[in-house]
Structure 1
């Protein structure tokens, strides 16, 4: 558990670039480097997180922690990965810090975005070598990427995985394994956690205390948001009403993009700015409330999902779902990762060199971040 907390804390301190970059960091750190889980399990968990509301990268991190050290590991992964941005955004709200005014931070973010391009490219390359094995899987990957780039919204996110799973089940047959078919390990777990998720949608609204209202607003936001932190902003606006000034949401959104870690920690900034609640308490309650629905739904769905993915009749579905997941990463690599980071020919060269170094020498991403920072500083001086 302590190791899980430490590893995720380190990533939480440097994981700029949004959820797709976070997935790249997780894949490199916990699949390639530390072997905590294999590519199949990583891809299966990632595809499940795509179906659920909430922050997909944080849910994937909780799954990795759970796989490593049980429920305490899941909590450790969440705390470690979320705490750096929680602390920074809480302090920003309390002291009204204008993070965007710091030139050094602007340079660091530019370097971190270029590093994110390299890390996500490495994750795509590694997963493609594992899951793109023939013309059919390549076609599914390409079509999934094109669909995501063409369409937007919840349907765009879920459709490639659903269609790939259906086509794989209908048309792809792998040899039947002699392995014992796994059944859901705990339907009780599914029912209890889903029941708790539903109860928390209703119970806090019955109380008028400021803390209960605060929890209720952010829990509802976390329960119905697909697509990450960028989507939570318009949902929070009508929920919090007059409890904060008009500029707080915009300031929180801007601040959340300037710190590492999950975008959902916009809740930390807004919670610390709520009227009638101590800033630290408000930030803590809002942060827990917005992440809790995704965690409950993840562990409620996990037993059934694992049983389905391990069933021999769905082996063809798994093949094409994995290919579709690679396609989703390819689309996200272009927009927003590449678009937000690469603006010149020299940026392209820096990314290519960084990718080559990462593949050949397997350097720590800290050294790559230092190299990207030197490049950004040099480009600014020139």
Structure 2
């Protein structure tokens, strides 16, 4: 903001958010930003058409989509920066879940294979929120919306991927049809830039079916971009890879609830779309010596939440191996019980289960124990920490 405009902008801010149309009209020619800030929400769209060329596109975030012509939403999104689209996403989701009929009319009447970024972004929201849309719209979602989305998928596309999985299941579509569309999305994802969420998912997809090697760069992307439950079946393998790397401490900066990810029942299916044939193999018994060796090599174990997850996992596995009551956990008092047979669990109250890391709370509430016979058969040469 130029110094000469500061006082007028402050005046505009004092009128936000209700605005003053007459005052905004008077200052628009000389002070477009002040006029924009002071605009009532009902007239913002008209003013944006007049002053947008003189403002940074970030200011688009002040638009109220409830007062925007429906057919202009995809056009607006096509020119919006990512930060603004994130703001709009919340509003679009609320509208679709409360009163979708009007918004459904905003589907651009264009060839979906040539949809612009805005149309692809809007289509991804239709797919993501398909459970809230009328059933009559489902054929169009599976047709136009999917085509438009994949023509230029936005970076934040996991919601659409989850929505598509739900829709195929709800419509009882053949598994073969779903596999075909997953393979197509995988092909699209591999062509996208690293860091795009569909690209990260496509890497996990390829790794899951033996078409990609296990490497630290991919693991870092999985941990950063994807829900823990999607890569949980490979979590023991990933953690072994991490703790044996020279950059282990850096990789473990992420706050991953390792107990809740690794200590899962053998056979639990991955939640990732397209990976329903992939199941958890249970905690790898050979993981413990790797973790113990890693901790012993660190002169001063960091007192951080992420390392507390590692220490809780070690405690849980050691307790299962020695068939003793687990110690009180650092991230959750009862984290160690995830490695104990469910029949041995105390009668946890809801308050007890909710007192700590929410991911561990969820597993306790579900009654999902990660115990298996292999945990109590770990080689006796493995010594507990501190021994």
TM-score bucket of the superposed structures, by smaller chain: under 0.3
Higher relative contact order (CA 8 A, sep 6+): 1
- As a proportion of its length, which structure holds more helix? 1
Which has the larger Rg? 2
TM-score (norm 1): 0.22
TM-score by length of 2: 0.22
